[in-house]
Structure 1
Amino acid sequence: MKMMLNKIKQQAKDMKRHTLTVYFAIKDPEMPWFTKLFAMLVVAYALSPIDLIPDFIPVIGYLDDLIIVPLGLALVIRLTPQHVINTAKLKADSAAEKPVNYYTGAVFILIWLLLFGYAIHFGFQFFGAK
C-alpha cells in the first residue's frame, strides 16, 4: 500500500513538472503556433470545469482527467522542438525548487480575511435592520 502511495506521489510530481514545462514552452517565441495552440487547449481543458465525462460519475468521471490530460501533455512535449523543451525543463526545474514562503502566504490570507471582515461589517451597516 505504501509503495503504491509513493508511486502516486511521484506521478503527481512528474505531472506538475510536465505542466510547468509546457507552461514555459508556451511562452517561448520559438514554439510553433499550432503546438502552442494545442498546448493552450490542453491546459484549458485541464483547468476547465467542463469535462467530456462529468466528475460526479463514480470512477469513470475521473478517467478523462487521468488519461486525456497526461496524453495531451505528452503530445505537446513530443511536438515541441527539443531545444525549446530543454530550455523549458530547466526553467520548470528551477521554479519547482524555489522554497515556499509561508510568511507571504500568511500576509495574503490576513489581507483577505480583513477585506472579508470589512465587507461583512459594511454589509451589516448598509443592509442591516434599522
Structure 2
Amino acid sequence: MKIGELSRRTGVPTRMLRYYEEQDLLHPARADNGYRAYGDSAVQCVQQIRGLLDSGLTTEIIRAILPFLSGPGDIHLHPECVTPETTALLRGEIDRIQRRIDCLARNRDALRTYLAAVRPDSPASPARPEGP
C-alpha cells in the first residue's frame, strides 16, 4: 500500500509517517518510481508506534525496543540482545517515568487538599488505593 492508504488506515498523517521513517521506526520498500510501499503489517506497526509515543516514550526508546515487540504485551527479547547502552537507556526512561508519576501524584494530592479546603461539604475524588 502507498503512504496515503497507510495514513487512512491508521489515522496518522503522511507527514508523521515520513517522520517515523526518518527516525528509523518504519522501513517501507521503494517502488521503481520511488514511491513508498508498505506491507499490511505496517498498520499494526504504526499503531504500536502511536501507542508508545502516546505513553510518553521517545523515538530513541521506541527505536531500541520496537524490533522486539510484536504487539501489546508481546515482548520477544533475548537477554543477549540487550546491550549495556540499551539497558542504561531503559533504566533512565523508567526513572523519568517514575519522576513523572511522583509529580502527578503530588499534584493530585494538592488538588484534593485544595478542593477539600474550599468545598468541605463536597468530597474530593474518592481515595484510591496507592500503587505498588
Bucket of the pairwise TM-score, normalised by the shorter protein? 0.3 to 0.5
Tell me the TM-score normalized by structure 2.
Answer: 0.32
Tell me the TM-score normalized by structure 1.
Answer: 0.33
Q: Whose strand proportion is higher, 1 or 2? A: 2
Q: Whose helix proportion is higher, 1 or 2? A: 1
